Amino acid sequence: MNILIVLTSHSDLGDTGKKTGFWIEEFAAPYYYFIEAGANVTLASPKGGQPPVDPKSSDEENETPASIRFTHDSTLQSILQNTIPLSEISASSYDAIFFPGGHGPLWDLNKDHHSIEIIKAFWQSNKPIATVCHSPSVLLNVEDYGGNSIVKGKRVTGFSNSEEQEMELQFVVPYSLETELQNNGGIYSKGNNWESYAVVDGMLITGQNPASSLEVAKQLMSLLQGIQNNLPHNSL
């Protein structure tokens, strides 16, 4: 099984002067889960090279076993320095795609031409697409054959308005993810703030927040194993 992980290349948190990027837990927990399940993982980003890490995701209060493992994993750190530019990625080489969150994707991946075309190729090939936290934003500008957003009529989740408000970033982000998923026809639902909550609808998997990262990874592997074993899949 070949899984493509796409990380943001955006590092500025709006006009605050602060930095953002990808959230460590949302990358590390799925990455280690995929690797330990025997998958081959490729890392990519819009610009290639080292993707920016959200500095707050390494703060002590945000540490998890996966993020601590990541911090001490020199091999993964080296791999991460050399992500492949999205312009060099062919969707046909991969069985599934996963987007970690962090605020970065709100600014770049949601409108990146290569990201949009890669997701469209996965969608048209009926291959699993997984996102978590702020990365469901990458789906907003992807259209199906009929010219509709691919989230239209799909059950989805993503970082909630109430969680954004708790972080006091509702006026910093370029748009509200929860609201935009709904505006694009998504059937949005959420769990409690900061608790794991994931939604599977066909080959589309979305997670609400950092705590949902591992569950999203598990759901993705479940879909892949079902495909590999020619098992029917259900919209959960």
pLDDT digits (tens, 9 = 90+) for 185-194: 999 999 999 9
pLDDT tens digit sequence for 99-112: 999 999 999 999 99
pLDDT tens digit sequence for 22-67: 999 999 999 999 999 999 999 999 999 999 999 999 999 999 999 9
Entry pTM: 0.95
pLDDT tens digit sequence for 168-186: 999 999 999 999 999 999 9
Q: Please state whether beta strands 187-188 and 155-156 pair in parallel, antiparallel, or not at all (unpaired).
A: parallel
**Which pLDDT does position 234 carry in this prediction?**
45
**Which pLDDT does position 235 carry in this prediction?**
39
Q: What is d(CA 234, CA 202) in angstroms, rounded to the nearest whole number?
A: 6
pLDDT for 232 beyond 90: no
Contacts of 34 (CB under 8 A, 6+ apart): 3, 5, 41, 98, 217, 220, 221
179, 190 Cβ separation under 8 angstroms: no
Residue 21: C-alpha distances to residues 8, 37, 52, 116, 154 (Å) = 6, 27, 5, 19, 27
* Phi, psi for 14 (deg, rounded to 5): 60, -135
Quote the mean pLDDT of the chain: 95
**Which pLDDT does position 230 carry in this prediction?**
76
**Which pLDDT does position 92 carry in this prediction?**
96
In the structure, what pLDDT confidence band is assigned to residue 73 with cuts at 50, 70 and 90?
Answer: very high
**CATH T-level assignment (fold) for domain 2-228:** Rossmann fold (3.40.50)
- Region of 19 (left: φ > 0; alpha: ψ -120 to 50; beta: rest) is beta
% the chain with pLDDT above 90: 94
Q: Please state whether beta strands 129-132 and 204-207 pair in parallel, antiparallel, or not at all (unpaired).
A: parallel
pLDDT for 160 beyond 50: yes
* Phi, psi for 79 (deg, rounded to 5): -60, -40
